[in-house]
Amino acid sequence: MRQLLNINKAHPKKSLGQNFITDNNFLLKMNSHIDSSKNNIVIEIGPGKGALTEYLIKKKFKKLLLIEKDNNLASQLKLKYKKIKNVFIINDDALAFDYSIFKNIEEKVTIYGNLPFNISTKLLTNWISDDEWPYFFDKMILMFQKEVANRIVADHNNREYGRLSVLVQSRCNVEKILNAPSSIFSPKPKVDGAVIQIKPKNDYNRVNFNNLEKLLEQSFSSRRKKIKNTLSEYKQLLAKLNIDENLRPENLSVSNYCDLARLIN
């Protein structure tokens, strides 16, 4: 009981970008998106005090891995769940953890997480950038800053559409499933959040991710310029693909960029 009191009294650390979910209604909505299968490996990133974990452990799963960087919280989570044999607490940085251990396994891997806003984009990019695609996960349900979430799901011809939109959508189907107002967190962040469902796809699995990334960086370096200026050296390839060189970067679709990157490759 003392250990449970300790974890509930844990103070969020600004250095780790910690904002704990305290709204039970929101957690109930999240619960409807939690898979239940005895063959699933479930990974929760940044469980914190275990608010979402309490819903995860009530589902069926083969293994539940909780990756928590905070030493104190990780220790208390180990005590809290020590009697559940298939729950494993990993005291590690989610950015440094080796996810390749989940490659080529029979079980499906699902990732859930209230990601710290300061590392969310880096984490996602790391997960989808592997050359061996599809990678290790079958589905991810992740929290992002609302502005970042809007960029991830944005379609072309939209001002929020950009480099991140194309990178993620070249590898995954994305869907915003929940809004997360700042009021559900403690401490209350200055921005709202949103939850996105991310599922890998194979449409452009032969496109070199690094080449695509370089192409997008070049294209979106000057958003208001036409691609005949930002991508001038690819004029012949643009013509081959029937892409109007008078378009601006946000007017090209994900498939346009992937086709172009494939030809460059």
Question: Whole-prediction pTM value?
Answer: 0.89
Task: For residues 28 and 100, state if they share a domain.
Answer: yes
The pLDDT of residue 19 = 74
pLDDT of residue 104: 85
pLDDT tens for the chain, 265 residues: list them. Answer: 555 545 555 544 444 445 778 899 999 999 999 999 999 999 999 998 899 999 999 999 999 999 999 999 999 999 999 999 999 999 999 999 999 899 889 899 999 998 888 899 999 999 998 877 777 899 999 999 999 999 999 999 999 999 999 999 999 999 999 999 999 987 788 899 999 999 999 888 889 999 999 999 999 999 899 999 999 999 999 999 999 999 999 999 999 999 999 998 6
Q: Give me the pLDDT at residue 13, please.
A: 45
The answer to whether residues 135 and 248 belong to one domain is: no
Give residue 1's pLDDT.
52
Domain hosting 238: range is 209-264
Query: Which pLDDT score is estimated for 10?
Result: 54
Last residue of a domain, one of 200, 221, 247: 200
Same domain, 169 and 255: no
Domain at 151, CATH number: 3.40.50.150
CA distances from 38 to 33, 88, 109, 196, 232 (A): 16, 16, 12, 24, 53
Residue ending a domain, choose from 179, 200, 221: 200
**How high is the pLDDT of residue 228?**
95
Tokens for 92, please give them: 């590690």
The one-character DSSP state at 12 is P
Whether 64 and 146 map to the same domain: the answer is yes
pLDDT (0 to 100) of residue 14:
47
- Are 263 and 242 in contact by the 8 Å Cβ rule? The answer is no
Q: Among candidates 114, 95, 3, which has minimal Cα distance to 55?
A: 114
Sign of the alpha-carbon torsion through 12, 17, 18, 19: positive
Q: What is the pLDDT of residue 5?
A: 46
In CATH, what number is assigned to the domain containing residue 230? 1.10.8.100
